[in-house]
């Protein structure tokens, strides 16, 4: 079979290190009864060892040439190939307790993570390889320099753990960045519930739009000092010092304020 040339527009970097492949599969611990989908199977670095345990599973792949290769390599009854853009794919259509794995394209990793978060109630877990910087942001705690909008939005939906780093030489072609593998487990019973997810997203984005400013300055007249006292939030803190639960309280307060408040998404 002809060699496949990695395409920059798809952000393709193919995993080729056997030790890393074994470590990822070991972290996943696939079981024969799993309902699993692999995003971006590429040349099958994870697909092959997963099929040694799983009788069948799904893959989502956008590159038509790779889809054609997979169709030639694996029978349809073992590999259910969805030729689709993962950003638009309805993961809930694959059933409940879905396990998601993959070396996610780095050029669309953030919007893809938000898309997966929308399907969190249908997921059992996610094991993903991403740019290390992104994993650091995802798993950062309040007060850490990497803590930001991505941290808050994903930590509302998932408990996350950075598992191990992956060097550039584990790929062909090697990326210019360090990578890392992260485990994401949906939080079945959040301590607090967001009442309007769109407003929650806009509130978090606005709070982090000017990181060096205090909440009082970044949110302006949207929240009065008396409201901060009621919510138990110090308005002199910066957004990077606020736990996820505090953002939930802020968002729910803005939704149920006596005067309806509209927050537009900050630019940039």
Residue 235 sits in a domain of what CATH number? Answer: 1.10.8.100
Range of the domain at 234: 197-255
The pLDDT value recorded for residue 7 is: 45
Are 202 and 129 contained in the same domain? no
- The CATH number of the domain holding residue 31 is 3.40.50.150
Packing angle, helices 149-157 and 197-208, rounded to 10: 150
Are 175 and 230 contained in the same domain? no
Q: Is residue 174 part of a domain?
A: yes
Are 179 and 201 contained in the same domain? no
The pLDDT value recorded for residue 265 is: 61
Are 160 and 207 contained in the same domain? no
Q: Are 125 and 99 in contact (CB under 8 A)?
A: yes
Where is the domain boundary, 153, 186, 219? 186
Are 171 and 59 contained in the same domain? yes
Are 125 and 247 contained in the same domain? no
The two three-digit tokens of residue 64, written as one number: 């038509």
Are 124 and 207 contained in the same domain? no
Q: Is residue 1 part of a domain?
A: no
The span from the CA of 83 to the CA of 258, in Å, is 48
Where is the domain boundary, 151, 167, 186? 186
pTM: 0.90
Where is the domain boundary, 164, 186, 208? 186
Q: Is residue 150 part of a domain?
A: yes
The pLDDT value recorded for residue 10 is: 45
**Non-local CB neighbours of 16 within 8 Å, separated by 6+ positions:** 45, 170, 171, 172
User: Could you give the number of structural domains in the chain?
Assistant: 2
The pLDDT value recorded for residue 6 is: 45
Tens place of pLDDT per residue across the chain (268 aa) = 445 444 444 445 789 999 999 999 999 999 999 999 999 998 899 999 999 999 999 999 999 999 999 999 999 999 999 999 999 999 999 999 999 999 998 889 999 999 999 999 999 999 999 999 999 999 999 999 999 999 999 999 999 999 999 999 999 889 889 999 999 999 976 668 999 999 999 999 999 998 899 999 999 989 999 999 999 999 999 999 999 999 999 999 999 875 555 566 655 4
**Non-local CB neighbours of 60 within 8 Å, separated by 6+ positions:** 37, 38, 39, 40, 82, 84, 86, 89
Q: Is residue 67 part of a domain?
A: yes
The pLDDT value recorded for residue 142 is: 97
């Amino acid at each position: 079979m002809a060699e496949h040339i990695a395409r920059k527009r798809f952000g393709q970097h193919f995993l080729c290190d056997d030790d890393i492949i074994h470590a990822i599969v070991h972290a996943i611990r696939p079981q024969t009864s799993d309902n699993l989908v692999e995003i971006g199977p590429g040349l099958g670095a994870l697909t092959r060892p997963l099929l040694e345990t799983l009788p069948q599973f799904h893959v989502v792949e956008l590159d038509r040439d790779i889809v054609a290769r997979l169709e030639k390599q694996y029978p349809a009854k073992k590999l259910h190939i969805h030729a689709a853009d993962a950003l638009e794919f309805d993961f809930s259509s694959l059933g409940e307790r879905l396990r998601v794995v993959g070396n996610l394209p780095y050029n669309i990793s953030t919007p893809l993570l938000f898309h997966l978060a929308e399907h969190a109630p249908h997921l059992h877990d996610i094991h993903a390889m991403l740019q290390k910087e992104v994993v650091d942001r995802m798993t950062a705690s309040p007060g850490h320099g990497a803590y930001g909008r991505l941290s808050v939005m994903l930590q509302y939906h998932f408990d996350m753990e950075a598992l191990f780093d992956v060097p550039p030489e584990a790929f062909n072609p090697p990326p210019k960045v360090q990578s890392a593998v992260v485990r994401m487990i949906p939080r079945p019973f959040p301590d607090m519930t967001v009442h309007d997810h769109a407003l929650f997203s806009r509130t978090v984005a606005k709070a982090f739009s000017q990181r060096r400013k205090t909440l009082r300055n970044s949110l302006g007249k949207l929240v009065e000092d008396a409201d901060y006292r009621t919510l138990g939030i110090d308005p002199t803190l910066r957004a990077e010092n606020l736990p996820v639960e505090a953002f939930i309280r802020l968002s729910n307060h803005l939704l149920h304020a006596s005067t309806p408040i509209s927050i537009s998404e900050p630019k940039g």
